[in-house]
Amino acid sequence: MGVSINTVSRALRGKRDVSPATKARVLEAARRLGYRPNKLARGLRSTKTWNLGVVVSDIANPFFAAVVKGVENAARTYGYTIILKETDESYEREEEALRVMVAEQVDGLLLTPAQSQRNTVETLLGGDLPFVLLGRYFSDLDAPYVVTDDVRGGFLATEHLLGLGHRNIAHVAGPMHISSARDRWAGFISALRANHLPVRKDRAVMGAVRLEDGHRAAQELLGRRVQPTAIFCYSDLVAFGVMRAVSEAGLRIPEDMAIVGYDDMEFCAHAQVPLTTVRIPKRALGEKAVEMLVSMLRNGGQTGTRSARLPVELVIRESARGVMA
């Protein structure tokens, strides 16, 4: 190949001081020869396992599946393998997942906290394991995190509906102990106030996470004395539950009810009524979290950036249109 053993070693470990062309040649040769890195030997030499722990709330949720895809791709680039656990939004399972990661001696941890309690994160802050919160944060804890600009996202979704002429807008919100739910709610309120509209409690249903939650929330909203003409939903999964309940009530989307989701999951564009939604850069979210965590690992647990807030954008499709005359 015409390169030194040291260069081959550095290329296989993903070091950045090896040129892309040389790295490509080394990796292609390794592929042809069936080379597999001996991570146990690497760990014995460096006291590292080359494993990163990843704990998310629901791997079956397409949102988290896409985020984890970004995590895995970035981790592989840096020479790491991931160990994945889910909590199903249970603090007890979060504690269990942390014990597993400690037992596996992961080099670092990415955690989407359940946020019903904060003991796990406080424990991590008092320990030696580098970690980054993924998708959620605690405003009053100095824990590193990577999130998206959900206040802006909630504002964009609500502002779009207002621009279509809707004034009777409901919000099916997530649980308020979750930071992303609070931020989207804050954006919703901000848009209403910017347009001099009141914030009415009878236009909100809290605590929706899953499709069935959206279905129940929409039934509740439709059973109230004055029905909304538009509904902004905490997530796309929640939005699809809302859409089902709206259709079951004999209402048409978007003629009788405008609906906006959040996340822009892959199937949103292919639904029977394509869903207007706020797009989160899901893979970039995972990639940025790995980048921050690896920076900490390379700098003794310290990082120059303690937080990152990625931008979001509104994706307009057919599920929302102006108020019918």
CATH number at residue 28: 1.10.260.40
Which CATH number belongs to the domain containing residue 84 in this structure? 3.40.50.2300
Residues 176 and 241 in one domain: yes
The beta strand positions in the chain, using DSSP E, are: 51-56, 81-86, 108-111, 131-134, 145-148, 169-172, 204-205, 230-233, 258-263, 276-279, 307-310, 313-315
Residues 172 and 200 in one domain: yes
Is residue 314 in some structural domain? no
Is residue 325 in some structural domain? no
CB 280 within 8 Å of CB 264: yes
pLDDT in tens, 63-119: 999 999 999 999 999 999 999 999 999 999 999 999 999 999 999 999 999 999 999
- Positions in the chain short of pLDDT 50: 40-41, 43-44, 325
Q: What is the pLDDT of residue 20?
A: 78
Is residue 122 in some structural domain? yes
CB 43 within 8 Å of CB 28: no
Is residue 324 in some structural domain? no
Give pTM, 2 decimals.
0.84
Is residue 183 in some structural domain? yes
Residues 230 and 177 in one domain: yes
Residues 167 and 276 in one domain: yes
Q: What is the pLDDT of residue 44?
A: 44
pLDDT in tens, 208-235: 999 999 999 999 999 999 999 999 999 9
Is residue 316 in some structural domain? no
Q: What is the pLDDT of residue 28?
A: 75
Residues 22 and 99 in one domain: no
Residues 256 and 300 in one domain: no
Residues 175 and 254 in one domain: yes
Q: Exposed, middle or buried: residue 32 (CB in 10 Å: 0-12, 13-18, 19+)?
A: exposed
Is residue 2 in some structural domain? yes
CB 111 within 8 Å of CB 145: no
Residues 174 and 205 in one domain: yes
Domain that holds residue 137: 38-147+282-309
Would you give the end-to-end CA distance of the chain in angstroms? 73
Is residue 323 in some structural domain? no
- Give the count of domains, the chain: 3
Q: What is the pLDDT of residue 40?
A: 45
Residues 98 and 163 in one domain: no
Q: What is the pLDDT of residue 270?
A: 95
The beta strand positions in 152-217, using DSSP E, are: 169-172, 204-205
How far is it, in rounded angstroms, from Cα 12 to Cα 7? 9
Phi, psi of 30 (to 5 degrees): -65, -40
Residues 264 and 143 in one domain: no
Residues 156 and 177 in one domain: yes
Residues 160 and 268 in one domain: yes
Instruction: Show the tokens assigned to 106.
Output: 């992961």
The CA distances from residue 219 to 35, 166, 226, in Å, are 57, 20, 13
